[in-house]
């Protein structure tokens, strides 16, 4: 085999071509890493948002959207009395009657943003134990409590949603009472308000759903049996985890489109790499033939050419990984029902590394084969 130093020296023969190869591979690897991080972030936040212990009672036919659901406001009390297996905290049933309402929130400076409002009572904290108030207090009448990422989803300045700030919901002025965190879930992008306030603002006398926290995931059968028996209430029972899994399937075409776009760009870069390496290797046909004449086999010369390409692409991978950490890691991306944070995880980093190696191999094999195809006498005379 030819020494690795030979491949390294050849890389710097044409610095402009080296920069072109490194830059092209860096762009492709960065796009692939971004696609991987986006898909992982969206899928992760949706899969983590639902608990298998939580059961949702909502209106029949509204399984795909809680916002469209309407059930009786007395359903919470009926369910607590009729369904065994509901978890209790200090003898208080973990049952949350909620209204899910999509509307616009207006900051003090007049800027509006659309977000998901959840009308709740303090019992919602028993059903959603991942929620932690990190600043301020739970909302009272005339107040709202915002998720830590709500400002990003709404497209508002973060300072406009600090505790004590004034906001408007459907023309009614309200005060921000606090900020809560629910790491890794879509709830961090929601705005919570008092259930009674949302009754009036949404102009409805029904609620969207009742969420029950069961002692074990297996107790869901009791909730399902209750929904089937109470035909007068026109209910459907869903596991909270199943509801968010269905939402994840709804967004699957979007995630596929992200991969398709990145793949098309990568394919274009590979073909561009073919042209660059064809020109680089073709100018060295006599040199490559000379190496064969002094005893190096075609396989050894072929491997040296592949090494050059892989090393250049790994340089681009290093640049792309640095840019991903600086530009992508920790960035919050909003989507229709919430927001998620991009993380350059080890899985994303490995995806970028594999992409860089494949670019180096796939981009160099056809040009190398073509340049080594002529017979030795013909190549020496070229």
**pLDDT of 150 over the 80 cut:** yes
CA distances from 257 to 46, 130, 152, 260 (A): 18, 32, 23, 5
Percent of the chain with pLDDT over 70: 99
**How far out from the chain centre does Cα 374 lie?**
50
pTM of the predicted model, to two decimals?
Answer: 0.76
Cβ burial 168-186 (10 Å sphere, 16+ → b, else e):
ebbeeebebbbbbbbebbb
pLDDT digits (tens, 9 = 90+) for 10-46: 888 878 888 888 888 898 899 999 988 988 888 878 7
Q: pLDDT, tens digit, for every residue of 289-331?
A: 888 888 888 899 899 889 988 999 999 999 999 999 999 888 8
> Which range is least confidently modeled, 47-56, 226-235, 277-286?
277-286
Other CB atoms closer than 10 Å to residue 263's CB: what's the count?
14
- Please state, rounded to an integer, the average pLDDT across all residues of the chain: 87
Pick from 289, 285, 243: nearest CA to 47: 243
Which SS3 state, helix, strand or coil, does residue 100 take? strand
- Predicted local confidence at residue 146, as pLDDT: 94
Tokens of 124: 């919602």
Least confident of 71-75, 162-166, 180-184, 332-336: 332-336
177-202 average pLDDT score: 90
How many other CB atoms are there within 10 angstroms of residue 356's CB atom?
A: 26
**165: confidence class by pLDDT, cuts 50, 70, 90:** very high
Encoding tokens for residue 227? Answer: 């929904």
Q: Is the pLDDT of residue 48 over 80?
A: no
pLDDT at 170 (0 to 100): 83
Mean pLDDT, rounded, for 232-240: 89
Q: Minimal CA–CA distance to 188: which of 154, 160, 143?
A: 154
Distance CA 176, CA 168 (A): 10
22 contacts 224 by C-beta, under 8 angstroms: no
- Per-residue pLDDT of 256-289, as tens digits, reads 888 888 888 878 777 777 777 777 777 778 888 8
Helices (H), the chain: 4-11, 15-49, 75-82, 124-127, 150-154, 195-201, 220-229, 240-250, 252-282, 285-293, 298-327, 346-372, 376-381
pLDDT at residue 173 is higher than 80: yes
Nearest to 172 by CA among 144, 149, 150: 144
pLDDT at 336: 67
pLDDT at 248: 76
Closest CA to 302 of 281, 283, 275, 271: 281
Q: What are phi and psi of 213, to 5 degrees?
A: -105, 120
CB contact at 8 A, 377 and 357: no
**How far is it, in rounded angstroms, from Cα 65 to Cα 222?**
23
Average pLDDT on 92-116 reads: 89
The model's confidence at residue 137, banded by pLDDT at 50, 70 and 90, is very high
Q: What angle do CA 275, 276, 278 make, to 5 degrees?
A: 65
Instruction: List the structure tokens of 286.
Output: 């006599």
What pLDDT is recorded for position 124? 93
Identify the band that residue 152 occupies on the pLDDT scale cut at 50, 70 and 90.
confident
Quote the CA–CA distance of 299 and 217 in Å, as a whole number: 60
Q: Are 186 and 45 in contact (CB under 8 A)?
A: yes
Q: How many CA atoms lie within 13 A of 111 on its CB side?
A: 10
């Amino acid at each position: 085999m030819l020494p690795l130093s030979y491949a390294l020296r050849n890389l710097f023969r044409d610095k402009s071509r080296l920069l072109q190869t490194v830059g092209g591979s860096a762009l492709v690897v960065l796009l692939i890493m971004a696609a991987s991080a986006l898909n992982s972030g969206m899928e992760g936040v949706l899969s983590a948002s639902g608990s298998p212990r939580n059961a949702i009672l909502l209106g029949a036919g509204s399984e795909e959207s809680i916002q469209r659901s309407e059930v009786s406001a007395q359903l919470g009390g009926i369910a607590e009395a009729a369904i065994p297996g509901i978890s209790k905290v200090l003898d208080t049933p973990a049952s949350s009657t909620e209204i899910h309402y999509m509307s616009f929130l207006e900051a003090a400076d007049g800027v509006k943003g659309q977000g998901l409002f959840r009308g709740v009572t303090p019992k919602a904290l028993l059903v959603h134990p991942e929620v932690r108030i990190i600043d301020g207090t739970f909302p009272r009448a005339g107040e709202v409590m915002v998720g830590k990422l709500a400002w990003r989803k709404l497209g508002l300045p973060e300072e406009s949603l600090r505790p004590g700030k004034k906001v408007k919901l459907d023309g009614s002025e309200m005060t921000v009472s606090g900020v809560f965190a629910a790491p890794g879930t879509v709830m961090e992008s929601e705005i919570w308000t008092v259930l009674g306030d949302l009754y009036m603002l949404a102009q409805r006398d029904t609620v969207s759903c009742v969420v029950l926290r069961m002692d074990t995931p297996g107790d869901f059968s009791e909730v399902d049996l209750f929904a089937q028996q109470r035909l007068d209430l026109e209910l459907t029972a869903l596991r909270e985890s199943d509801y968010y899994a269905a939402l994840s399937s709804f967004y699957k075409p979007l995630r596929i489109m992200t991969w398709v776009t990145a793949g098309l760009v990568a394919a274009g870069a590979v073909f561009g790499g073919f042209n660059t390496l064809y020109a680089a290797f073709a100018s060295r046909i006599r040199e490559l033939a000379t190496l064969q004449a002094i005893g190096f086999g075609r396989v050894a010369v072929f491997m040296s050419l592949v090494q050059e390409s892989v090393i250049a692409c790994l340089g681009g991978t290093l640049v792309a990984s640095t840019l991903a950490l600086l530009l992508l890691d920790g960035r919050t991306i909003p989507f229709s029902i919430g927001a998620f944070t991009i993380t350059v995880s080890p899985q994303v980093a490995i995806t970028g590394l594999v992409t860089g190696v494949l670019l180096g191999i796939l981009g160099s094999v056809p040009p190398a084969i073509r340049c080594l195809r002529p017979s030795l006498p013909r190549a020496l005379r070229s």
